[in-house]
Amino acid sequence: MPPRLRTSLAAAAACATLLAVTSAAWAYRVSPMIYDLKPVGQGSAIVVRVENTNDKPITIEVAAERRTFDENGAESRTPADDDFVLFPPQAVIQPGATQALRVQYVGPPRLPASVMYTVTVKQIPIQLPAGGPSGVQFVFNFSTLADVVPDGARAQIETVSLTPQPVGYALRIHNSGNKYANLAISSVVLTGPGFTRTLEGEDWRKTLGPSWILPGADRVIKLPAIEGAPAAGLTATVRLVESKP
C-alpha cells in the first residue's frame, strides 16, 4: 500500500474526543494501525505498541468491536471483546515510555470469509482535584483496523449495474469473494462505443468515501458526470489491487 494512502487511512481510523476539563493536550502514537490476523494458530495475535510522546503519564484502555458497512458505506460497530484477548486491558504509560498490547483473536476458528474489527486504544481522562484549574483536555481514541482472514481468502469485485443519474452515475458493485477489499487502491475503467476513461487516484478516492467492501456485500458509489461519455452503452469494470496490511 502506498505510504501516503496508508497515512490517510490511519488518520481516518483515529478519532479525538474533546472534553472540557483541563488545558493540557496529551498525545500518543499507536502502531500498527492496520493488520491482518489468522483465525487460529500462528498469526492469530499481534503486538500493538502505544508510545506516550508527551511529558505526563496517560491511562489507556482497549476495546474490540466488529465493523460492518451498508451499501452506501455507512459504518456500524458492535462490541466484540469476547472475540479477543486484549492484554493488558488497561495501562498507565509514563512519559516517553512505550506499552506493548497483545491483541489475540479467539473468536470462531472456522471462518468462511474474512471478518473486520476495530481494536480501539482509548485514553481515559484524569480526575482533577476539586477547585483546580479548568480548561480543555483533548482525549484521543485510536481505532486500529484488525481483519481476521482465513487462509486463501481473496476478494472478487463484480459490477452489478451502472445507472445514469440526474448528475453522474450510480455504480453498484458486489464482492463475491471471501475477503474484504480496499477500494481506495483500486480503479474503475469506464468503456463505451469509442470511449474509454479510467477513474483512479485522488479523483476516485474523493468520490468513493469509505473504502472498504466486505465479503458478500454490495456497495453503491456515486460517480461524477464523465465528460465525453456516450449517452448509452457505458459499462464499468473495477480493477482491484489485492489489499495487504
If you average pLDDT over residues 78-88, what whole number do you get?
Answer: 98
DSSP per residue, 30-87: EE-SEEEE-SSSTTSEEEEEEEE-SSS-EEEEEEEEEEEE-TT--EEEEE-GGGEEEE
**Residue 198, strand partner residues:** 189
- The Cα–Cα gap between 64 and 49 comes to 16
Domain 3-148 class? mainly beta
Domains 3-148 and 157-239 share a fold: yes
What fold is seen in the domain 157-239?
A: Immunoglobulin-like (2.60.40)
pLDDT tens sequence across 57-66: 999 999 999 9
Residue 3's pLDDT is 46
How many CA within 13 A on the CB side of residue 220?
10
- Percent of the chain scoring above 90 in pLDDT: 74
Average pLDDT, the chain: 87
Contacts of 19 (CB under 8 A, 6+ apart): 125, 136, 137, 138, 139
* CA-CA-CA-CA torsion sign (63, 66, 70, 73): positive
189 has pLDDT over 70: yes
Q: Which of 20-24, 53-57, 157-161 has the lowest mean pLDDT?
A: 20-24
What's this model's pTM, rounded to 2 decimal places? Answer: 0.83
How far CA 112 is from CA of 45, 180, 207, in Å, comes to 19, 12, 31
Residue 7's pLDDT is 42
pLDDT tens sequence across 111-137: 999 999 999 999 998 765 555 555 556
Q: Which DSSP category does 127 fall into?
A: P
Residue 133's pLDDT is 55
Name the residue ranges covered by the structural domains of the chain: 3-148, 157-239
